Amino acid sequence: MLGEDVRHWADHDFGPWALIDREGGSFVGRGGLCWTEVEGKPVVELPWTIDPDHQGRGLATEAALAAVDWARSLGLREIVTMTIPANQASIRVAEKAGFEVSGETERKGLRHLLYRLQLQGGPPI
């Protein structure tokens, strides 16, 4: 996964982040932005995952909001995020970050809710 992230950064000048705990300096998850495909079309996704020992502290929301700001600074017009319908915590993070559900899609063999966030002033992706 790290190799893919490094290649993404080299190819696109942006990519996934490693999320590090400010207090202890330990790895707590991933966030950032990355290119992916939804129904055969390229889109920029805001993915996140938080280590279970660090969940419930607002870290995913903090990372998501920072990634949205970053997407705006990159001039993107739209970003997406996806979560399985049962993951209520991720649904809350998406909503807090301003995303709106726009339908469903399949990812890695599982049904996911697809969320979109329209950003102002950027070129189409």
Measured between alpha carbons, how far is 81 from 28 in angstroms, rounded to an integer? 19
Distance CA 44, CA 33 (A): 6
With respect to residue 9, please indicate whether it lies within any of the assigned structural domains: no
pLDDT tens string 23-77? 889 999 999 999 999 999 999 999 999 999 999 999 999 999 999 999 999 999 9
Q: Can you give the CATH number for the domain in which 86 is found?
A: 3.40.630.30
**In this structure, is residue 1 part of a structural domain?**
no
3-state secondary structure of 120: coil
| pTM for the model | 0.89
Question: Running DSSP on this structure, what letter comes out for residue 118?
Answer: E
Query: Domain of 40?
Result: 17-118
Q: Is the pLDDT of residue 123 over 60?
A: no
Task: Please tell me the total count of domains within the chain.
Answer: 1
Model confidence at 7: pLDDT above 80: yes
In a domain, 71, yes or no: yes
30 within some domain:
yes
Q: What is the pLDDT of residue 18?
A: 93
Q: How far, rounded to the nearest angstrom, does the alpha carbon of residue 26 sit from its chain's CA centroid?
A: 20
